[in-house]
Amino acid sequence: MQIAIASGKGGVGKSSVAASLIYLLKDGYSLIAVDADADAPNLHLLFGVERWEEKREIIGAKIAKINSETCIKCGICAERCPYDCIKLVDGVYKVNELTCEGCGVCKLVCPVEGVITLEEVRSGIIQKTTTKYGFPLISAQLDVGRPNSGKLVTEEKEWAKRIMKEEGIEHMIVDSAAGIGCQVIASLGGADVAILVAEPTPASLSDVKRVYKVVQHFREPAYLIINKADLNPEFKGLYEFAEEEGIPIIGEIPYDRAVPKSMAMLKPVVEAFPESKASKALREIAEVVKEQILR
């Protein structure tokens, strides 16, 4: 089974919830963890990973380059680039390699043959390790300024699937990126179940609603966890949303300073402070996950 954990918004504690759930499920179930937040991966930090067993470079991004020697400075490329990536800098037309999407339009419209070339560059790396807890973890890191992070996530999941086959692993737990863009779509695509994590703030509600629309698009069953649940008792928005959409709330985790402390210690809170309020709530959630989702 493939479970994707998503939140829409960053900072609501999705990764720390994911790390704790993975920690609690690892004993009874064979699983592989996939960190699909290629922009800011952090599961490896939360699991205290010190070295990677295997790394793969993912080539795939393309970047346009202008040969300033042969360029006649007509400016057509700059005018036609759909994303305003070409500018006249000190008298020469230059592609901003950190914003180029690699679509190739500039090359097509350039009147002089061969001035603009599209070059393949690395979009990032994906890497694998076996955590000290025994289960494998796959993580990605997008290179600075590169597009196409969805592709990294797709590659990660392919790799995870191969490992699952080879090692007879049953479950994949994907910690998806914040937002609703290509990385999140790649994370949710193909999942059997989505677990949404939100906190009781208007911003988090707005974002979890947005990611839920993506979940609906894939017709996946969704569950909701309310993190920092006692932060804002007057705020009922999350309950109303869950009620309206028929999304089961599988747990509420109180705000607990043990959580940031455990993160600083590079451990899931359920391991670092098993008796904390947050850990108790997380253990209850893990039981619900076992009964209702993994069965």
Binding site for ligand SF4 (CB under 6 A): 64, 66, 71-77, 81, 83, 85-86, 93, 95, 100-106, 110, 112, 115-116
Q: Give which of another protein, ligand SF4, none residue 147 binds (C-beta under 5 to 8 Å, depending on kind).
A: another protein
Q: What is d(CA 93, CA 76) in angstroms, rounded to the nearest whole number?
A: 10
Question: Among 109, 106, 105, which residue's Cα sits nearest to residue 94?
Answer: 106
Of 11 and 104, the one with the shorter C-beta distance to ligand SF4 is 104
- One residue of 109, 121, 163, 169 binding another protein per CB under 8 A: 109
Q: Give which of another protein, ligand SF4, none residue 174 binds (C-beta under 5 to 8 Å, depending on kind).
A: none
Contacts of residues 100-106 at CB distance under 8 Å and 24 or more positions apart, as own/partner, are 100/62, 100/63, 100/64, 100/147, 101/147, 102/61, 102/62, 102/63, 102/64, 102/147, 104/62, 104/64, 105/80, 105/81, 106/64, 106/66, 106/77, 106/80, 106/81
Burial 118-152 (b: 16+ CB within 10 A, else e): eeebebbbbbbbebeeebbbbbbbbbeebbbbbbb
Q: How far is the CB of 3 from another protein (least distance, A)?
A: 21
- One residue of 169, 182, 258, 288 binding another protein per CB under 8 A: 182
Q: How far is the CB of 79 from ligand SF4 (least distance, A)?
A: 9
Q: Categorise residue 8: left if φ over 0, alpha if ψ from -120 to 50, beta otherwise.
A: left
- One residue of 49, 76, 118, 258 binding another protein per CB under 8 A: 118
118: its two tokens: 């599209």
The span of 25-33, 93-101, 131-139, 162-170 binding another protein (CB under 8 A) equals: 93-101
Q: Give which of ligand SF4, another protein, none residue 179 binds (C-beta under 5 to 8 Å, depending on kind).
A: another protein
- The DSSP secondary-structure symbol of 270 reads H
Q: Give which of another protein, ligand SF4, none residue 169 binds (C-beta under 5 to 8 Å, depending on kind).
A: none
Of 180 and 247, the one with the shorter C-beta distance to another protein is 180
Question: Among 226, 197, 268, which residue's Cα sits nearest to residue 20?
Answer: 268
Residue in the structure block whose two tokens are 């490992």: 163
Q: Give the largest Cα separation in the chain, rounded.
A: 70
Please name every residue paired with 251 in a beta bridge, in sequence order, or none if there are none: 225
Residue in the structure block whose two tokens are 């402390």: 261
Q: How far is the CB of 210 from another protein (least distance, A)?
A: 5
Q: How far is the CB of 104 from ligand SF4 (least distance, A)?
A: 5
260 binds another protein (CB under 8 A): yes
Site string for another protein, 206-245 (x = CB under 8 A): xx--xx-xx--x-------------xx--x----------
Of 103 and 294, the one with the shorter C-beta distance to another protein is 103
Q: Which amino acid is at 202?
A: P
- One residue of 49, 96, 169, 258 binding another protein per CB under 8 A: 96
Residues found near another protein in the complex (CB under 8 A): 8-13, 39-40, 42, 45, 62, 82-84, 96, 98-105, 108-109, 118, 142, 144-147, 149-150, 177-182, 184-185, 200-203, 206-207, 210-211, 213-214, 217, 231-232, 235, 260, 263-264, 266
